[in-house]
Homo-oligomer: A and B are copies of this chain.
C-alpha cells in the first residue's frame, strides 16, 4: 500500500496559493469566487484526487446529510424490501444511511440506540421496525425528549407523529370481500401474530367484512400463525379440523398461504373449487405457487422511498422555520391480485 499522504483542504489551498477558505467556497459551489480561481482549484482538486472529509464537514457545518435507519427482521421479505426502497430514496436525495437492526422485534429499550444514532449527528431517523405489542410504548415518554425528526413506518395512526404506512385494513377488506364476491360463505382466516399491528388490522378487516355481509365469524374460524410457512401448516391443520365446512380462507401472508396449498394437495382438497385462498404481500414467488396465489400486493419499495422523502421534507422545514413541522400521516393503498387460487382458469 502506497503511503499516499492524506490530502486535506489546507494542502489544496497551499498548492493553489490561496486560502483554505477559497477552496471551501469552490467545494460548496459558492458564487463568490472568480472564474479563473475556481477553474484552477477545480483542476487541482481533480489532479490531487482530493475528497473532503464528510465528518469534518458535519462537525463544523451542522449538516451531516446522514439519516439513521432502524429496522428489524431483515431476513424477512417485507423489511428488506422496504430497506431497499430507503436506500434508493436516500441515494436520490444525496443522503447517507446509518443502519441499525434491532436484535429482536419486541425491543423496547430504544433510547440508547437513538442516542447512538444522534451521536453521528444524523439529521433524522426512519423507524422501519414493525409495531408489535407495546414496543411503541417508549413514544409517550421519549418522543418529546428525542429532539430529532423521526418518521415511522407501518403503525397505528397517531396525529402527533409522522407516519408512512400501508393500509393493512383496506388490504384485509379487499381480500375478504373478494372471497365473499365469489359466493363463499364459510370463510376462515389465518392471522399473523396478533401482537403485530399489521396482523391485527388484517384480522379486523376480515371480521368487519364478514359482519357487513351478514356472515358468521367465530373463534373456530380463525387461527394464529407467526408469518412462517411452518406456522401456516399448523394453522391450516387446525382450521380444517375445527371448521370443516370452510370453503375459503384469507391467509395473513404469502408464506403461510404456501403451506395452505401444500396441505391442500396432501389432503386432496381442490383449490379453488373446494377451498379458495387469498394471501397477503404479493411476493414475486406467489405467482408460481400451485396453483398461483391470489394475494394483496403492497408496494414496500415505494413505502421506503416515500419515508425518505417525507423525512427530508421535515428536516428541511425544521431548518427553515426552526420549529417542528405539523406531523403528517401518509397511507398507501394495497392492491388485490386475482389468480388461480380463487378463480379456476
Q: A101-116: contact bitstring with B at CB < 8 Å (1 yes, 0 no)? A: 1010000000000011
A56 to B103, CA, bound (A): 28
Task: Decide yes or no: A55 and B58 within 8 Å by CB, A230-B287, A290-B290 being known contacts.
Answer: yes
Chain B residues, CB < 8 A from A259: 288
Residues in B with CB closer than 8 Å to A2 are 144-145, 147
What's the minimum C-beta distance from A252 to chain B, rounded to whole angstroms? 15
Residues of B within 8 A of A183 (CB): none
Contact across chains for B101 and A324 when beta carbons are under 8 A apart: no
User: A2-B144, A119-B51 given as contacts; is B59 within 8 A of A87 (CB)?
Assistant: no
Say if the beta carbon of A98 comes within 8 Å of chain B. yes
Interface members, chain A 134-180 (any B CB < 8 Å): 144-145, 147
Interfacial residues of chain A within 23-72, with CB under 8 A of chain B in the complex: 51-56, 58-59, 64, 69
Stretch at the interface among A76-84, A185-193, A206-214, A330-338: A76-84
Q: Contact: B80 with A74, CB < 8 Å? A: yes
Q: List 18 A-B contacts (CB under 8 A).
A: A51-B119, A52-B119, A54-B116, A54-B119, A54-B120, A74-B83, A74-B84, A80-B84, A87-B99, A87-B101, A88-B103, A91-B100, A96-B116, A99-B99, A258-B285, A258-B289, A262-B290, A265-B290
A219 at the A/B interface (Cβ < 8 Å)?
A: no
A118: B residues at CB distance < 8 A:
51
A74: chain B residues within 8 A (beta carbon): 80-81, 83-84, 87
Quick check: B84 and A101 within 8 Å, CB to CB?
yes
Q: Which residues of B contact A284 (CB under 8 A)?
A: 228-230, 255
A69: chain B residues within 8 A (beta carbon): 99
Given A1-B323, A55-B121, A101-B88: A75 touches B232 (CB 8 Å cut-off): no
Residues of B within 8 A of A323 (CB): 1
Pairwise interchain contact B87-A120, C-beta atoms closer than 8 A: no
Checking B58, B98, B147 against A96 with a beta-carbon cut-off of 8 angstroms, the contacting residue is B98
Q: How many residues of chain A get a CB closer than 8 Å to chain B's CBs?
A: 61
Min CB distance, A148 to chain B, in Å? 9
Q: How far is the CB of A49 from chain B (nearest CB, A)?
A: 8
- Say whether A97 faces chain B, with CB atoms less than 8 Å apart: yes
Residues of B close to A233: CB separation below 8 A: 288
Q: In the docked arrangement, what's the CA distance between A75 and B87, Å? A: 11
Which chain B residue lies CB-closest to A101? B87
Q: How far, in angstroms, from A56 to B57 measured CA to CA in the complex?
A: 11
18 further A-B contacts with Cβ under 8 Å, apart from A54-B120, A55-B119, A80-B80, are: A1-B144, A1-B323, A1-B324, A2-B145, A53-B121, A54-B116, A55-B58, A55-B59, A69-B99, A75-B84, A91-B103, A99-B99, A230-B288, A232-B288, A255-B288, A262-B288, A262-B289, A265-B290
Judged by a CB distance under 8 angstroms, whether A261 is at the interface is yes
**Which 7 residue pairs spanning A and B have beta carbons closest together?**
A80-B80, A87-B101, A54-B119, A74-B84, A229-B288, A259-B288, A99-B99
Residues of B within 8 A of A230 (CB): 284, 287-288
